[in-house]
Amino acid sequence: MAETVHLPDEAATAALGASIAPGLKAGDVVYLTGALGMGKSSLARGLIRALTYPDQDVPSPTFTLIQSYEAADFTLLHLDLYRLESPDEAYELGLDDALPSSVLLIEWPDRLGHLGYDDRLDIVLELADKTNPSAGRIAHLVPRGNFKV
């Protein structure tokens, strides 16, 4: 069931990530979508820290493309695909092989093109009020396919 959440600040964005974390299991895919500066990395940090430990260093995977974290029951792979020039470049990341024992947290999932995942949780971040950026953001959470929240 789709849900929309108001995020007044960065702390609320990280808290949303932390609230999603306990429901994830190996094989899950989460797409983080939104323009630059909408809070994708903040949400990812909150989610990752909830699954690892509160002061976990969570660098942006913009240049490495992928960061790996060990959660209690699975490996969490945080991906930033912004720099992919073609969906076929994703093959080199080995995501399909990793998925059965991992959770994929993917920023810029549109870069996967035809290689994307049907069963996933989409989290779309955008300004709450396009005429007033200080009004915070909203997150639309939409389960797709067989994804269970």
pTM score, whole prediction: 0.93
Say whether pLDDT at 105 is over 80: yes
Contacts of 6 (CB under 8 A, 6+ apart): 12, 128, 136, 137, 138
* pLDDT-derived band at 89, boundaries 50, 70, 90: confident
Apex 126 CA angle, 32 and 111, nearest 5: 35
pLDDT of residue 90: 85
User: How far apart (Å, rounded) are the C-alpha atoms in residues 14 and 28?
Assistant: 19
The ranges assigned to domains in the chain are 26-132
List the alpha helices (DSSP H) in the chain.
10-20, 40-51, 95-98
Q: Please write the tens of the pLDDT for every residue from 27-75.
A: 999 999 998 889 999 999 999 999 999 998 887 877 778 899 999 999 9
Q: Please write the tens of the pLDDT for every residue from 121-143.
A: 999 999 888 888 788 899 999 99
Q: Please write the tens of the pLDDT for every residue from 12-39.
A: 999 999 999 999 999 999 999 998 889 9
Task: Kindly report the CATH class assigned to 26-132.
Answer: alpha beta
- Both tokens of 68, joined, read 């790996």
The phi-psi region of residue 108 (left if phi > 0; otherwise alpha if psi is between -120 and 50; otherwise beta) is left
Is-contact 105 17, C-beta < 8 A? no
